[in-house]
Structure 1
C-alpha cells in the first residue's frame, strides 16, 4: 500500500474525522476513538499504530487508572496541510455538502465553509435562490449534523443577490476573502431556481400589461 493509499484509506479518514473535529488537543482512549469512528477496536488500534509511526498522531501515556490516549500531533511537519485537506473533504465539507444537497436542493444555490475558530466551530455561508430555506428545518438539520460531526456549526443564510452584490463593508465580505474559504456548493450543483433579477420582473410586468391591454379575440 502506498503512503497516499494509506492516508486516504476509509479507516484513516474515519479516525481523522473524529480527531480533527474535536477541539484542539482533545485526547481519546482507543476504545472511545473506535466507537466514535464506528470501527472495531482491533481495526482502530492497528490504524492508530500506523498514524503514530507516520507522526500524524501521538500517544499519551496512561495515568493512574486512566487508559492511554491518542491525539493529533500538531508538531507534525504537514499538520496544517493535512488539517486543511481533512476540513475541505471528508472531515467537514463532504458531510455538510451532502446535507445541503439532500435536504435543501430546491433552495440552496451556493455554499461556503468560511473557516473555523479556536474552539473548532465551523462557520458556513449559504446563499439561496428563489426559495428561502425553512429556518426551523435548517436549524434542525445543522444541529443533527453538528452532533454527528462532533463540532458546532455557525450558519449565515443570505439571498444570492446579497452574495453577488456584496460591498466591502458587508460583515461577511472579509470572511469570504480569507484564504481559508472554500466553496462546497457551486452554481448548478443543486436544482434550486435562481432569483429573478429586477429587470426580469419589469419585463414580465410589461408583458402582462401588454396582454391585459389587448382587445378580446
Structure 2
C-alpha cells in the first residue's frame, strides 16, 4: 500500500481522527471501534497496518486490562502527518461539514488558522449579509469539540472587515501563514454577500425614480 493509499483510506482516516485528537491517550481496540464507528474486526486490521507502518504503537495488556494502541510520537513523519490530519480529515472536514450544513445562509468563508500546543484549534469565520446566531454557533462548536476531542477558538468577522483588513490587523498575519487552510471558499455556501453602500444608494435612487414617475 502506498503512502497516498494509506492517507486516503477511509478506515485509516477514521482511526487517525480518534488517535490524533488525543495523541497521549491509550485506546483498547473496542474503544477505537466505538469512537470511529467501525466494526471491531475492521478496526483490528487497520490498527495492524498503523502499527506496521510505525504511525501507532501497542501497549501490552496489564492484569485485567486489554491491550491498547496510541500514536507513536517517534514516527519520523509524526509532525507532518498530524498536520495533514488537522488540515483535512481530523479537523477541517468536521468543521467544514458543520459550517456548510448549519450556517450555510451566513458563512461565506472560513479558515482553520492552526492548533496550539494544548490542542486548541483556531477558526476564522467570515459572514456575509446575515450574522451567524451567536448562541447557535457556540452550541455547535461545543458539540463538535466533544466529537473531535479538541477545543475550538472561533473568530467571527464580517466580509467587509476581511476584505479591508490592514497589515496591522492581528488576524492579517495569521491568515497569510503557510499553515492556514481555507475550508469554506466563496461560493461554497448559499450565504448572501453584504450589499455595498453604493449598491444601496443606487437601489434607493431607482426606487425614488419609479415613485416619481407619472402614472398613465
Match of 1:8 in 2: 8
Pick which of 105-114 and 195-204 moved more.
Answer: 195-204
SS in 2 for 1:199: helix
**Structure-1 residue corresponding to 2:183:** 184
**Which residue does 1:115 correspond to in 2?**
114
Secondary structure of the residue aligned to 1:155 is strand
Aligned to 1:71: 70
Shift of residue 214 of structure 1? Answer: 3.7
Name structure 2 gaps, 5 residues minimum: none
Aligned pairs for 1:131-210 (under 5 A) are 131-210=130-209
Superposed CA RMSD:
1.9
Number of the residue aligned with 1:124? 123
Contiguous gaps of at least 5 residues in structure 1: none
CA separation of 1:7/1:184 partners in 2, compared to 1, >3 Å: closer, same or farther?
A: closer
- Cα deviations by residue, 1:110-153 (Å, 9 ceiling, x for unpaired): 01111111111111111111111111111111112122222111
Counterparts of 1:121 and 1:98 in 2: how far apart (Å)? 19
What secondary structure is seen at the aligned counterpart in 2 of 1:126?
strand
CA distance in 1, matches of 2:189, 2:141: 18
* Distance in 2 (alpha carbons) for counterparts of 1:56 and 1:86: 12
- Deviation of 1:70 after TM superposition, in Å, equals 1.8
More divergent stretch after superposition (156-165 vs 53-62): 53-62
Measure the CA separation in 2 of the matches of 1:78 and 1:59: 18
Deviation at 1:216, TM superposition (A): 4.3
Q: TM-score, normalised by structure 2?
A: 0.90
Report the alpha carbon displacement of residue 170 of structure 1 after superposing the two structures with TM: 1.6
Task: Measure how far apart 1:96 and its partner are.
Answer: 1.0
Look up the SS of the partner of 2:31 in the other structure. helix
Deviations 1:20-59 (A, max 9, x none): 122x423222222222112233322221111111011112
199-208 vs 172-181, which moves further: 199-208
The answer as to 2:46 corresponding to 1:61 is no
Q: Which moved more, 1:152-161 or 1:171-180?
A: 171-180
